[in-house]
């Protein structure tokens, strides 16, 4: 979690900080082969140098972004979980329950789908 300590420390609301820290710790525990890093001033995880998932915070929610193709594929499940999404990110309000099984499926999909990807982003 040391990789993200400065980022987390900058989140003023303690409850929000704790909530995001819980999510990031869960990703690190569930997917120990992913590399945690800060890029574009946000926490993200990579696999063999390619982007898998990134997180960001806002006043009323935190977001994760797995890339557009993944959001398109999982749009129905994202909506059923009660989350809003754009083409590039999924918003989870700070007081919404976190659907860890959905996040797990999204991360697993990206790991498999990008196994042969040699660039950071999909082309």
**Domain spans, the chain:** 2-113
pLDDT for position 98: 97
**pTM of the complete model:** 0.95
Alpha carbons 9 and 17: distance in angstroms, whole number: 8
pLDDT for position 77: 98
pLDDT for position 25: 98
**What value, to the nearest 5°, has the Cα angle with vertex 22 and ends 7 and 61?**
70
**Digitized pLDDT (tens) for each residue of the chain, 123 residues in all:** 799 999 999 999 999 999 999 999 999 999 999 999 999 999 999 999 999 999 999 999 999 999 999 999 999 999 999 999 999 999 999 999 999 999 999 999 999 999 999 998 998
pLDDT for position 19: 97
Q: What is the CATH code of the structural domain delimited by 2-113?
A: 3.90.1150.200
């Amino acid at each position: 979690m040391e990789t993200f300590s400065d980022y987390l420390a900058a989140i003023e609301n303690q409850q929000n900080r704790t909530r995001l820290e819980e999510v990031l710790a869960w990703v690190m525990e569930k997917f120990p082969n992913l590399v945690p890093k800060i890029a574009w001033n946000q926490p993200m995880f990579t696999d063999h140098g390619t982007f898998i998932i990134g997180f960001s915070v806002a006043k009323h929610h935190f977001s994760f972004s797995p890339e557009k193709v993944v959001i398109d594929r999982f749009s129905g499940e994202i909506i059923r979980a009660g989350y809003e999404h754009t083409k590039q990110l999924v918003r989870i309000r700070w007081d919404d329950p976190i659907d860890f099984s959905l996040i797990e499926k999204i991360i697993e999909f990206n790991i498999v789908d990008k196994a042969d990807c040699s660039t950071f982003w999909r082309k």
